[in-house]
């Protein structure tokens, strides 16, 4: 019996694929979150160097601000994709429960 004839096997295969997708998005979520933290630290350093040390132009502060805003948008997309992947996992878990 092939997987397209066996609903339990098909749902199990799809569930495993969706779980891997969730794991991938969780890794991306963590990476973007740490990147945001690094950019905030970079902002603090740029602020310190430009305002209190006058070693660099205050315009350098714009770079970490722009990077942070881009990461916020990216993070929102990753979180939304992870939410959808979690919904798919729940769908296949519920489907397997109905089959059993």
pLDDT in tens, the chain (100 residues): 555 579 999 999 999 999 999 999 999 999 999 999 999 999 999 999 999 898 999 999 999 999 999 999 999 999 999 999 999 999 999 999 999 8
Distance CA 15, CA 17 (A): 5
pTM of the model: 0.84
Q: What is the reported pLDDT for 100?
A: 85
Of 42, 35, 22, which is closest to residue 72 (Cα–Cα)? 35
Report the candidate in 93, 99, 97 with the shortest Cα–Cα distance to residue 19. 93
């Amino acid at each position: 019996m092939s997987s397209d004839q066996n609903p339990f096997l098909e749902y199990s295969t799809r569930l495993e694929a969706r779980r891997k997708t969730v794991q991938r998005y969780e890794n991306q979520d963590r990476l973007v979150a740490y990147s945001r933290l690094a950019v905030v630290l970079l902002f603090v350093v740029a602020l310190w160097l430009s305002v209190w040390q006058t070693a660099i132009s205050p315009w350098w502060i714009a770079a970490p601000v722009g990077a942070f805003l881009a990461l916020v948008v990216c993070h929102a997309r990753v979180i939304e994709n992870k939410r959808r992947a979690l919904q798919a996992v729940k769908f296949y878990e519920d489907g397997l429960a109905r089959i059993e």
